[in-house]
Amino acid sequence: MKRFLQKKAFIVWAMLFFMTLTVLVPKIYGEENAESSTSEEANRKKVVYLTFDDGPSPNNTRKIIDVLNKEGVKATFFLIGQEAENRPHIVRDLVDNGMTVLPHSYSHKTNYIYKSSSNYISDYEKCKEVLEHIVRGPLPNYMRMPTGSYTPCCNKWVMQDIIKGLRSKDVSYIDWNVSTDDSLGKNVPVENLKNKFIKQAKDKDFIVVLMHDSYYCGTTVTYLPEMIKYLKDNGYEFKTINDMTPEDEAYMKNHRLINKTKKVK
């Protein structure tokens, strides 16, 4: 009898133990998971994507490669097809130095390409084709629109068609959330570039910065080491579109840095 009771007590105890296990473990595990995902969000490393448009130029692109190499960081270059045809060796230098090369526009003639979506798409495709020929391989389906997707150069209805055309080909367009405005003049003074950059970057943990490696952007080359030092000192990790993680891409889509659209009323 005593033995039977002991056995029964053991069974009850064992049942309770397993019930506790099945109820509590997922709860604790789930809470831990929830905690780790919130702390993941909180501890998310600061990220910066340095991007340069309108190259390759005969004077500045290689200087930028030298600065980036010296600093041990990589960047993304949205190239003009015509310029790339004139200087294919610089495009190959970019790739050989681990930079990401992507299409910007073949002609960059905004009054022509933004006239119709067919003008735009054929110009984009020509640019991609030229670059793929130079780098001898396919490029990922990312690009940047000349003057960005919020461009004042394009009628909103045409832009809507351009976006439809790009998305139907699974092409994503990338904008920016920090700009040095280095293309708003010839060799804009470093002090102005710095003020613009710091003002926009200082409260952001995720930065896509727009710069230019075109002919009249010599001061961008001058300011670049100081910008990189600021970003390193403030704990940013440097990335290019080629090493963009799915998490970064999702973040960029949520924050209207990839495939953002102008609301058409």
Which residues would be at the binding site for Zn ion (CB under 5 A)? 53-54, 146
Q: Give the shortest CB-250-to-Zn ion separation in angstroms.
A: 26
b/e 40-59 (16+ beta carbons within 10 angstroms → b): eeeeeeebbbbbbbbbbbee
Angle at 83 between CA 128 and CA 91, to 5 degrees: 70
Rounded to whole angstroms, how far apart are CA atoms 52 and 153? Answer: 20
- Residue placing its CB nearer to Zn ion in the complex, 54 or 83: 54
Q: Give the shortest CB-53-to-Zn ion separation in angstroms.
A: 4
Decide if 181 contacts 196 (C-beta within 8 A). yes
Q: Give the shortest CB-56-to-Zn ion separation in angstroms.
A: 13
- Residue placing its CB nearer to Zn ion in the complex, 53 or 123: 53
- Residue placing its CB nearer to Zn ion in the complex, 54 or 213: 54
Decide if 131 contacts 86 (C-beta within 8 A). no
Q: Give the shortest CB-146-to-Zn ion separation in angstroms.
A: 4
| Secondary element (H or E) of residue 205 | none
Rounded to whole angstroms, how far apart are CA atoms 168 and 209? Answer: 27
List, as one string, the DSSP characters of 96-123: HTT-EEEEEESS--HHHHTT-HHHHHHH
Closest CA to 81 of 58, 100, 51, 103: 103
Decide if 135 contacts 106 (C-beta within 8 A). no
Q: Give the shortest CB-192-to-Zn ion separation in angstroms.
A: 19
Q: Give the shortest CB-30-to-Zn ion separation in angstroms.
A: 48
- Residue placing its CB nearer to Zn ion in the complex, 180 or 236: 180
Q: Give the shortest CB-32-to-Zn ion separation in angstroms.
A: 47
> How many helices and strands (H and E) does the chain possess?
10, 8
- Residue placing its CB nearer to Zn ion in the complex, 62 or 144: 144
Q: Length of the chain, please?
A: 265
- Residue placing its CB nearer to Zn ion in the complex, 57 or 219: 57
- Residue placing its CB nearer to Zn ion in the complex, 53 or 248: 53
